[in-house]
A and B are shown apart, each in its own frame.
Chain A
Amino acid sequence: MLLCVGPGGVGKTTCAAALALGAARQGKRVLVVTIDPSRRLAQALGQDRARAGEELPVPLPLEGKGSLHALLLAPDVVFDRIVRAYAETPAAARQITQNPIYRAIAENLGGALEYAAMAQLQILHAERRYDLIVLDTPPTANAIDFLSAPERIHEVVTNPATRILTGGGKLGARLLGVGNGVVLKALGAIGGGEFLAELGAFLRDFSGVLSAFQQRAGDFSTLLTSPDTGVVLATSASPLSVREGLDFLRVLHERGLRVDSVVLNRVLPPFPPPPPTEAVQATLAEQVEPAVLEDTLQRVLGVYAGLRVQGEQSVAAGQALTAAYPRLPLWLLPLRDPAPTSVADLAELVAQFVRWGS
């Protein structure tokens, strides 16, 4: 399994898709799981929001036995599947899925998306139908948030405060050291008493299902730190992204995840210093009116200076990453404008990965 992580807006999903395509062309059976892809990329992968949660074949010419499927993560589909498989009876499963709170939680509870992504990965991993599963991680602001989000859901269902709502009130209150009535009054003032009772009943049922699932499937951290799992960090060369990227790497190492490589996306090559201004001016003078010559000259010089800054930033980003993690392979992907819109574009992108230092 390969997790594609990184700061927002660096082309993480594109990288995940390109890596998956590259592996499929090497003869592997590959599934790429995307979360909130841009419309163009979803189209390139043949995805359709109406069919979220389904593994759809990506139409591409492949030689040999390689294949590529794409799955658009649908948290509600994943949760439905867990509830159906792990509720004690079909009636109990219906009671959970028909609770209005369930829909809201499956779609919106903090951490639900991350939990669903991990659960989806765990289910797919256990089925062993693919040689490689590439997960494009949710657009979480930082690595800790992504890695700890599933834990937050788990905590909710094992939390002593939840037990106050779910009927084990005395024990819960003792654990909290607060009067039971105070807690209920406070929460009631915020949420309304009837709603709290419903929430309590729901959390009791739902926690049972999730516990059963986790008992069978194991901890997410076991899966994340297993030798089967690697991480690719995608980042852009902008100083802010690099800063965030380094932060990601630190957290991933602390958590015991194996980082396989770093992809520095949208890099520009270094540009040589500009020629003498008079030479540029002389060339432009033959092509523009004298009245706008100076203005045009300044704009051309300005754009070129900007390109040089970008080229320098790309080099600085590569240096910062290799200085911090000298043994970590670093790959560069050149700036591509427009961004890829088809499988052919992605295939082209695969060919453009360049190893840092080569």
Chain B
Amino acid sequence: MAVSSAPASGFGAVLDALAQRQLLVVSGKGGVGRTTVAALLGLSLARRGRRVLVATVGLDDRLAWMLGHRTLSETPSVAGPGLFVQRVVPTVCVREYGTMVLRSERIAGAVFDSAPIRRLVRAVPGLDDFAVLGKIWHEAVRARSFDVVVFDGPATGHLRYTLGIPQAILKAVRVGPLPREAQAMQASLEDPMVTQAVLVGLPDRWPLTELGEMAASLRSESRVHIGGIFVNGTWPELPAFQAGPPALDPDGQVARMLAATNVVAQQAARQRGHVETWLAGEQEAGRRVPPVVPLPWRFQGFAGLADVEDVLATLEPRRAA
């Protein structure tokens, strides 16, 4: 079973496959570590010699910090060799799209730089999502400005909606530039050679169940291939130990330490149990399970590039920079 094999081989193999795609959409519930996984993917793919853009819809600069950069801007900035980061902002994307369609920077400026128009445009249902998805798709597939675009996308609930936009447009609008764009976007999303989704979850019973359902609905509704499931926050595997004889540990210091690490060991065992039970259930139900890659729980959290490099070094020891 994938999960009980060494994490390094699993991660490396999955990344080798993902490196061949043009667009990777990272998603999962809030707080599971989507941005962390996007940063890991970006750094790992760049080290494979790919020219990578990691683009986020996140409002803060965490993605930048994790890749050793200070802030994110609305255009790509260099974060390392072959590695670029950027924030995608709906209003900016709408304006870019408007400029493209109107073929005039001047008219687009007159219209979209007006604050009331910007607010109105926000009220057009789905336009924000369409513009963001369109921008990402444009960079990844049409302009090919990068080998791979990693999209640190919205949380799962919203992602279904975002990815459903091209299909919704095709249903609602018959003529004009919109359906043509939507058709091309949908074709890219459905092509596993071009686009794959990467889901992030936690090693607990219910979160895994929800993740499995998420994967199924992404496949059936958006028809996007799932390239991998990253199980974040996996505690280290460790046997439980008994306290030693008092002669070896007169103050009980070692006993207290082992009591603490034993709790971690128990929790780690329970986590693995959850993952295995879930995988078995998925297989029994006849659902195709994408490669599952455990990512280690990082006690000290992720505050900077050093943390991401550290984790990558444990996942891909031979590729460490």
A-side residues, CB < 8 A to B, are 7-10, 36, 38-40, 101, 104-105, 108-110, 139, 141-142, 145, 152, 155-156, 159-162, 165, 175-178, 182-183, 185-187, 189-192, 195, 199, 203, 238-240, 244, 271-272, 274-275, 279-280, 282-284, 286-288, 296, 299-300, 302-307, 309-310, 313, 337-339, 341
| Contacting pair A178 B257 (CB below 8 A) | no
B161 touches A141 (CB 8 A): no
Residues of chain A with a CB closer than 8 A to B249's CB: 275, 279, 283
Q: In the complex, are the beta carbons of B112 and A282 less than 8 A apart? A: no
Partner pick for A199 among B98, B124, B257, B270, CB 8 A cutoff = B124
Q: Does B242 contact A (CB under 8 A)?
A: yes
Residues from chain A with Cβ under 8 Å of B116 in the complex: 159-162, 175-176
B210 & A282 in contact (Cβ 8 Å cutoff): no
Is B123 part of the binding interface, using a Cβ–Cβ cutoff of 8 Å? yes
Closest to A271 in B: B260
Q: Is the CB of B125 within 8 A of A39?
A: no
Decide: A284 and B241 in contact? CB cutoff 8 A: yes
How many Å lie between the Cα of A338 and that of B263 in the bound state? 12
In the bound complex, how far is the Cα of B138 from the Cα of A282, in angstroms? 61
Is chain B's binding surface mostly helix, strand, loop or mixed? Answer: helix
Find chain B residues with CB under 8 A from A189 CB. Answer: 98, 101-102, 176-177
The B253-276 residues at the A interface (CB cut-off 8 A) are: 253-254, 256-258, 260-261, 264, 267, 270
CB neighbours of A139 from chain B (8 A):
30-31, 155
B46-54, B68-76, B221-229, B294-302: which lies at the interface? B294-302
How far apart are A261's CB and chain B's nearest CB, in angstroms? 21
B236 touches A303 (CB 8 A): yes
Please name the residue on chain B nearest to A276 by beta carbon: B253
The reply to whether B97 and A108 contact each other, CB–CB distance below 8 Å, is no
Q: Taking the complex as formed, is B62 at the interface, i.e. its CB lies under 8 A from any CB of chain A?
A: yes
B257-A304 in contact (CB<8A): yes
Q: Are the CB atoms of A156 and B261 closer together than 8 Å?
A: no
For residue A287, which residues in chain B have a CB less than 8 angstroms away from its CB?
Answer: 239, 241-242
Q: Give the contacting residue for B29; candidates A38, A152, A274, A309; CB below 8 A.
A: A38
Interface residues on B, range: 35 or more
Find the residue from A177, A238, A303 having the highest chain B CB count within 10 A: A303
Q: Are A191 and B204 in contact (CB under 8 A)?
A: no
Question: Is there contact, CB below 8 Å, between A186 and B248?
Answer: no
Taking the closest CB of chain B, its distance from the CB of A27, in whole angstroms, is 32
How far is B62's CA from A282's CA once the two chains are assembled, in angstroms? 43
A222 and B101 CA atoms in complex are apart in Å by: 43
Mostly helix, strand, loop or mixed at chain A's interface?
Answer: helix
Contact A178 B111 (CB under 8 A): yes
**Contact in complex: B302, A283 (CB < 8 Å):** no
Pair A161/B117 contact, Cβ less than 8 Å = yes
A279 contacts B127, C-beta separation under 8 Å: no
With A176-B114, A192-B173 already in contact, the answer to whether A39 and B209 are too (CB < 8 A) is yes
Interface string of B135-170 (1 = CB under 8 A from A): 000000000000000000001010001000000000
Residue of A nearest to B303 (CB): A239
- Cβ of B321 within 8 Å of any chain A Cβ, yes or no, is no
Q: Which residues of A contact B238 (CB under 8 A)?
A: 299-300, 303
A36: chain B residues at CB < 8 Å are 157
Q: A240 contacts which chain B residues (CB < 8 A)?
A: 62, 301-303
Docked CA distance A282–B256 (Å): 15
User: Which chain A residue has the least Cβ–Cβ distance from B176?
Assistant: A192
* In the complex, residue of chain A having the shortest beta-carbon distance to the beta carbon of B58: A141
Set of chain A residues within 8 Å of B62, measured between Cβ atoms: 240
A7, A240, A244: residue with the most chain B Cβ atoms closer than 10 Å: A240
Known: A101-B125, A141-B60, A159-B120. A283 touches B30 (CB 8 A): no
**Is there a chain A Cβ closer than 8 Å to B32's Cβ?**
yes
In the complex, how many angstroms separate the beta carbon of A289 from the nearest chain B beta carbon? 11
| Set A40, A110, A306, A341: member contacting B122, Cβ < 8 A | A110
CB of A176 within 8 A of CB of B117, answer yes
For residue A7, which residue of chain B has the nearest CB? B31
Q: What 10 pairs across the A-B complex have the smallest Cβ distances?
A: A9-B31, A306-B299, A283-B244, A104-B125, A275-B253, A8-B30, A161-B120, A161-B116, A40-B206, A156-B123
Beta-carbon contact of B204 and A162 below 8 Å: no
Report whether A142 and B60 are in contact in the complex, using a CB–CB cutoff of 8 Å. Answer: yes
A192 to B11 Cα, complex, angstroms: 45
B270 touches A338 (CB 8 A): yes
- A300 adjacent to B261 (CB under 8 Å): yes
CB of B128 within 8 Å of the partner chain? yes
